[in-house]
Structure 1
Amino acid sequence: MQQGLDCHLFTPAEPLHLANIIKEQPIFSTRAHVFQIDPNTKKNWVPTSKHAVTVSYFFDSTRNVYRIISLDGSKAIINSTITPNMTFTKTSQKFGQWADSRANTVYGLGFSSESHLVKFADKFAEFKEAARLAKERSQEKMELTSTPSQESAPGDLQSPLTSDSINGTDDERVTPGTPQHTEPRAEPSQNALPFSHSSSSINKHWEAELAALKGNNAKLTAALLESTANVKQWKQQLAAYQEEAERLHKRVTELECVSGQTTVIKSQKMELNQTIEELELALKAKEEELERLKAEVESANEFQSEKDSLAEKLQETESRNQVLEAQLSDLEQRLESSQLEREAFHKSLRSLLELLDNKIFELTELRDTLAKLLEGS
Structure 2
Amino acid sequence: MIRRANSWRDLGPGVDATSSFVAPPSPTWGGAYGPPDVPGDTKKDVGEQPIFTTKAHVFQIDSGTKKDWIPASKSSVSVSFYYDSARNTYRIISVDGSKAIVNSTITPNMTFTKTSQKFGQWSDPRANTVYGLGFSSELELTKFIDKFKEIKELTRQAAGLKQGEINGTVENHALSPQPNRQSLHQRTNSLSSIQQNDSGSLRERRNSFTHGGTNGLPANATTETQLKYENDRLKLALAQSSANAKKWEVELQTLKNNNARLTAALQESTANVEEWKKQLAAYKEESVRLKKRLLDQDKGGGDPLMVGQLTDQLERIRLDNHNKQEEIKRLTAQLQDLAVRDGQSSAVQLRIQSLEEENRTLSLRFQDTQRQLQESRSSRDQETRDLLRLQESLGSKITELYETHETIVATMRRESNS
TM-score by length of 2: 0.32
Q: Which has the larger radius of gyration?
A: 1
Q: Flag the structure with higher helix content.
A: 1
Q: TM-score, normalised by structure 1?
A: 0.36
